Amino acid sequence: MLLSRIALITVGTLFIGCGDAGGGSGDSSGDTSAGASTGDTPTSSGGESSGGGSGSAGTDPFMVDPMCSSGKMWTQGNVESPHMHPGMACLTCHAQVEPDVVAEFPLAGTVFPTGHEPDDCLGLDGAAVPTHVEITTADAKVVKLAVNSSGNFVYDVNESGALMFPITAKVVKGDKERPMYSPQMTGDCNSCHTEDGANGAPGRIVEPL
């Protein structure tokens, strides 16, 4: 105490500034994110589109190792639920087991926190962090689908009317969004947005960062 008093008197504001800098981890995290954002960005379109957001987050969600961010898995098999089988190709399975389900739900998928998450891993908790998927149909109808606590979203024709393809889609969270640039002829989002990515998709559908 006495020592720091003396130091304060002799070195003055410079000493205080030094002490504060110890807690100023903001400086060092700034360096880290700058380094990460200059790294390879294979999904440059997505990265650019999230604009300032990607700068502050600092990491490309498709450059991280495969993981189940939530640490929780869907364990209830084919129990009928909008929370079922996050990550899996919803319509592919529904078409095999229950064509009526495809007719009522012609579009469905899952949003994850990172780009390479395994099947049945619970995705982004949209109940905790309000997020939606915005679909624009061929007849220019804009439909917002809430992301549920499994990360899943579902288009229900009984609520939103018939669905005309091709569609475009983007994920919206607050004032941030992550668009898909190519129009699609199927609503089976996870059939392309697999853990590794299929048909040119970079991996999972990821929340805007």
Interface ranges with ligand HEC (CB under 6 A) = 43, 45-46, 78, 80, 82, 84-86, 88, 90, 93-94, 97-98, 101, 105, 107-110, 133, 135, 152, 154, 169-171, 178, 180-182, 184, 186-189, 191-193, 199-202, 205-206
The least distance separating ligand HEC from the CB of residue 154, rounded to whole angstroms, comes to 5
The least distance separating ligand HEC from the CB of residue 57, rounded to whole angstroms, comes to 12
89-93: long-range pairs with CB below 8 Å, 24+? 89/188, 89/190, 89/191, 89/194, 90/152, 90/154, 90/188, 90/189, 90/190, 91/186, 91/187, 91/188, 91/191, 92/188, 92/191
For ligand HEC, the closer CB: 7 or 72: 72
The least distance separating ligand HEC from the CB of residue 6, rounded to whole angstroms, comes to 56
For ligand HEC, the closer CB: 6 or 209: 209
The pair of structure tokens assigned to 175 is 């004032």
d(C-alpha 186, C-alpha 190), whole Å: 10
For ligand HEC, the closer CB: 7 or 177: 177
Tokens 């981890």, located at residue: 25
Q: Which residue number places its CB atom closest to ligand HEC?
A: 46
Amino acid identity of residue 194, one-letter, is T
